[in-house]
Structure 1
């Protein structure tokens, strides 16, 4: 806390950190609304029961591993191990892309089992599943863009113990995306 001229206190939170937390809170509210709507709509009946794609479990492991790699990159940056930063941010990106590829395969499994999004052949159960996983996938793409920015910065030696903001924000967002997927996966397992 910093004392200002008027004798009051102000927070010394970096504006980008504050903005990131606002984004995270808004995403949480959106997914809270989606999952609430899912529960309410399911109780109304006409709900198609089907097995979740097995790829969801594989993707859960992938996203946890990516979060470990991201944390490793963050710790390496604090220790000025710049080669490890580059390696672990790159690995996080590869695992993030593998996650998205897995989601596309999971959607392919859904289509193969006649579970569609929208249209006359669809059921709300399938539509909700596509929305939940698709919107998470969109946010994961934004995370990959953020990772690419951090990777490029690390290649220019702009990520190190004296310049941690980029990697700190990226690590926070990436861990959030991983936690959000874990929530969605377990929510779908329990409520499907």
Structure 2
């Protein structure tokens, strides 16, 4: 009697996991759409100061793209039953994610050293927006890093296989989301000055 109920619960959980993730990502997208819309409207202000993006943001863009590629490879290799290459690519994804965070803080340092601060008398509207939106994205990256650690832990504990890799797939979807979100933000800041 207990076995069929557990099985039904697992099936229901599997069916609802991806739609729930998509709903949460849509709400996050709406938040960033609102923030970037406010950025566009604020460009009309008289005190708007235009400046180039920090070079470190270019580096962070490259490493987050690489991290998505390695996560795609991890997903590919788990489906092929190659645990060793899955592990290698998951570890690589985590390292690229940490490099992304490093480059983001380097970018903040570049902005700060050029006199663009987040808040206070010396802040500009544009620098405040860039700090605020990028920090909001970093919160999602930290969530993604936690997801990566959980996925890697579960993988090392043999919770994923060729036929059951839902957790890894969900982690990949979220990681690709934060990747695409950063690429959008990077090009948005680059093009909308």
User: TM-score, normalised on structure 2?
Assistant: 0.91
**Pairwise CA distance, 1:73:** 0.2
- Equivalent position SS for 1:157: coil
1:120-155 CA-partner distances (Å, limit 9, x unpaired)? 211111000001111111100100000100100011
> How many residue pairs get matched?
182
Q: Does the 8 Å contact 2:52/2:190 carry over to 1?
A: no
Give the aligned partner of residue 38 of structure 1: 39
1:52-92 CA-partner distances (Å, limit 9, x unpaired)? 10111111110110000000000011111111111111110
Give the aligned partner of residue 4 of structure 2: none
Pairing 1:183–2:171 present = no
Q: Does the 8 Å contact 1:159/1:167 carry over to 2?
A: yes
Q: Aligned partners of 2:90 and 2:46: how far apart in 1?
A: 45
Q: Aligned partners of 2:169 and 2:19: how far apart in 1?
A: 13
Mind listing any 5+ residue stretches in structure 1 that lack a counterpart? Answer: 1-10
**Pairwise CA distance, 1:13:** 6.9
- Equivalent position SS for 2:43: helix
Give the aligned partner of residue 6 of structure 2: none
Give the aligned partner of residue 169 of structure 1: 170
**Pairwise CA distance, 1:12:** 9.8
Give the aligned partner of residue 155 of structure 2: 154
Q: Aligned partners of 2:181 and 2:59: how far apart in 1?
A: 16
Q: Aligned partners of 1:143 and 1:87: how far apart in 2?
A: 18
Q: Does the 8 Å contact 1:62/1:99 carry over to 2?
A: yes
Give the aligned partner of residue 61 of structure 2: 60
Mind listing any 5+ residue stretches in structure 2 that lack a counterpart? Answer: 1-11
**Pairwise CA distance, 1:38:** 0.1
Structure 1: 4+ residue segments shifted above 4 A: none
Counterparts of 1:4-153 in structure 2, within 5 Å, are 14-153=15-154
User: TM-score, normalised on structure 1?
Assistant: 0.92
Q: Does the 8 Å contact 2:14/2:166 carry over to 1?
A: no
**Pairwise CA distance, 1:180:** 0.6
Q: Aligned partners of 1:103 and 1:35: how far apart in 2?
A: 18
Quickly say closer, same or farther: Cα 1:153–1:13, change in 2 above 3 A: closer
Q: Aligned partners of 1:48 and 1:103: how far apart in 2?
A: 21
Q: Aligned partners of 1:165 and 1:94: how far apart in 2?
A: 22
Q: Aligned partners of 1:15 and 1:120: how far apart in 2?
A: 48
Q: Does the 8 Å contact 1:150/1:159 carry over to 2?
A: no
